[in-house]
Amino acid sequence: MESMKLILSIVERGRGAAMLRLYRRQYVPIHIQCTGRGTATSEIMDILGLGSSEKDVLISFAAASAAKKLLYDLDNELRGHTGAAGIVVSIPISGLNSLVASLAAYHAENLKEKEGNEMERTENSLILVVCAQGCTDEVMSTAKAHGARGGTVIKGRLSGRKELELAYEVELKAEREIVAIVVPTDLRGPIMEAINTEHGLRSEAQAALCSLPIEQIVRLG
């Protein structure tokens, strides 16, 4: 069975359903949809004419061949036809339960004889910062001071915090926000180090963070 990819798509609120229909036609059938918001201020959004900062966030699983062709098509013949502005990235994953992987591979079988052209491997990374609710502006300010351009915030809740509290003798807030930031790989280290130094677990933001490699990236709109 071929390797699997995670496709992360962040588009304007209300465009997620149309993107899902497009993805299914492109042999990418398995999705999780959630909501988020961009980190740009309302003043900047007005200046750029981008309307609301509210976002639809899609997490999709696909066989490597289907993911490669989808992003190639989004960057070529489908460019300008999605009706959405945003970003789509492909991330390698090292494991996926067999039923999900088998379904993704089954849908990709139709692509075996018509794979898309190669795209250059991108030199970007996805930084995920999980911080206390209400602290995302400070986290993004630190990230931008070290070269980041923007991010998307997704609401969440911390589970299993008792173990962390006992280990580090801190009281952790359950309500969380996840900040997803796409950056050039050469900026990843300085940005993560700055966020951890200024907003780590012992700070008000109580941030934990990680990074993931991005194989392909397409900017929509």
- Give the per-residue pLDDT at 46: 43
Say if CB 199 and CB 110 are below 8 A apart: no
Distance CA 85, CA 11 (A): 6
The total of other beta-carbon atoms located within 10 Å of residue 121's CB is: 11
String of b and e for 16-35 (b: at least 16 CB within 10 Å)? beebbebbeebbbbbbeeee
Q: Which of 216, 219, 183, 211 is nearest to 66 (CA)?
A: 216
Domain 124-215 has CATH 3.30.70.120: yes
User: Which tens digits make up the pLDDT trace of 136-147?
Assistant: 999 999 999 999
* pLDDT score at 40: 63
pLDDT tens per residue across span 184-202: 999 999 999 999 999 998 8
User: Comparing 4-120 with 124-215, is the CATH topology the same?
Assistant: yes
**Beta strand 175-184 pairing with 124-132:** antiparallel
Task: For the chain, give every domain's residue range.
Answer: 4-120, 124-215
Q: Which residues contact residue 126 at a Cβ distance below 8 angstroms, ignoring those fewer than 6 apart? A: 8, 89, 91, 180, 181, 182, 211, 212, 213, 214
Contacts of residue 130, defined as CB under 8 A and 6 or more positions apart, other chains included, come to: 156, 158, 176, 177, 178, 179, 207, 208, 209
Is the CB of residue 10 less than 8 Å from the CB of residue 86? yes
Answer whether residue 45 shows pLDDT above 50. Answer: no
Give the pLDDT band (50/70/90) at residue 56. very high
Please check whether the domain covering 4-120 is classified as CATH 3.30.300.30. Answer: no
* Closest to 111 measured CA to CA, from 60, 71, 59, 58: 71
Taking a C-beta distance cutoff of 8 angstroms, is the pair 126, 211 a contact? yes
Q: Is the pTM of this model over 0.95?
A: no
- Rounded alpha-carbon distances, angstroms, from residue 210 to 14, 24, 67, 129, 181: 29, 30, 23, 7, 11
Range scoring the smallest mean pLDDT among 95-104, 126-135, 143-152, 188-197: 95-104
- pLDDT, tens digit, for every residue of 15-36? 999 999 999 989 998 999 999 9
